[in-house]
Chains A and B, each alone.
Chain A
Amino acid sequence: KAGVTQTPRYLIKTRGQQVTLSCSPISGHRSVSWYQQTPGQGLQFLFEYFSETQRNKGNFPGRFSGRQFSNSRSEMNVSTLELGDSALYLCASSPLPGSTYNEQFFGPGTRLTVL
């Protein structure tokens, strides 16, 4: 089975712009979670989607949003980019919802740099 794929792998944007990141989960996985990883804050949960519904949301401002499509693919959007949004954005999938109890399969991430 192919693993979790994320596109693009690298992205450079300027402050004020918006960005959309894409994640394709492992075939058959219906749960997708997003995480932000920075050297200072570590790995932080953004949101979790299952069957096109957002089940959980982390403590991020409303500039961070996401959605999931009927084929389980997910996108996350960050509007009005700030320098502090520079990070590695990781997507993780699992067959079932509830990331606490299920092994999370992470994708390679999208490295976002905001200038």
Chain B
Amino acid sequence: GQQVMQIPQYQHVQEGEDFTTYCNSSTTLSNIQWYKQRPGGHPVFLIQLVKSGEVKKQKRLTFQFGEAKKNSSLHITATQTTDVGTYFCAIGDRYNQGGKLIFGQGTELSVKP
């Protein structure tokens, strides 16, 4: 079935350092979503990317969608302890007419103050 590979699995950073997580697909995507899950919490929607080469910013977070629409990244500038959590990308299953989200394995971010 369709898959999306997300790396790295874990990232430990010192507060103030930058952080990036990547998602890669072998097939062209129609769009990609990003979610954040705090420890003990539930996934919270961050953003959706649709256009080839799209770049969107939310304060210190920058989201990119590749030109070929096969990869995406989330970059956090100058991490803070509030950024701790697991970041997931999610794509649609092309065989289910948009009704099934496939999540990456997630990147768990820990921030040392």
Q: Which residues of A contact B (CB under 8 A)?
A: 33, 35, 42-45, 48, 55-56, 58-59, 90, 92, 97-101, 103-109
Residue pair B100, A43 in contact (C-beta under 8 Å): no
With A42-B103, A43-B103, A59-B1 in contact, do A98 and B98 touch (Cβ < 8 Å)?
A: yes
With A48-B100, A99-B98 in contact, do A107 and B42 touch (Cβ < 8 Å)?
A: yes
Residue pair A109, B99 in contact (C-beta under 8 Å): no
Residue pair B30, A100 in contact (C-beta under 8 Å): yes
Of A43, A48, A100, chain B has the most CB atoms within 10 Å of the CB of A100
Asked if B85 is at the interface (CB within 8 A of a chain A CB), the reply is no
**A98 to B44, alpha carbons, bound, how many Å?**
17
**A56 to B99, alpha carbons, bound, how many Å?**
6
Pick the contact of A33: B48, B101, B106 (CB < 8 A): B101
Task: Give the A-B contact count at a CB cut-off of 8 A.
Answer: 70
Q: Residues 83-113 of chain B: 1 if any A CB is under 8 Å from the residue's CB, otherwise 0? A: 0000010111100111111111110000000
Residue of B with least CB distance to A58: B100
Residue pair B98, A105 in contact (C-beta under 8 Å): no
With A42-B105, A100-B91, A103-B48 in contact, do A109 and B100 touch (Cβ < 8 Å)?
A: no
Residue pair B100, A100 in contact (C-beta under 8 Å): yes
**A103 to B48, alpha carbons, bound, how many Å?**
8
**A103 to B32, alpha carbons, bound, how many Å?**
11
Residue pair B42, A109 in contact (C-beta under 8 Å): yes
List chain B residues, Cβ under 8 A from A33.
101
Residue pair A43, B43 in contact (C-beta under 8 Å): yes
With A42-B106, A43-B88 in contact, do A104 and B45 touch (Cβ < 8 Å)?
A: yes
Asked if B31 is at the interface (CB within 8 A of a chain A CB), the reply is yes
Residue of A with least CB distance to B101: A99
List chain B residues, Cβ under 8 A from A100.
30-31, 33, 91-93, 98-101
Pick the contact of A56: B33, B44, B96, B103 (CB < 8 A): B96
Residue of B with least CB distance to A94: B45
Q: Residues 48-89 of chain B: 1 if any A CB is under 8 Å from the residue's CB, otherwise 0? A: 100000000000000000000000000000000000000010
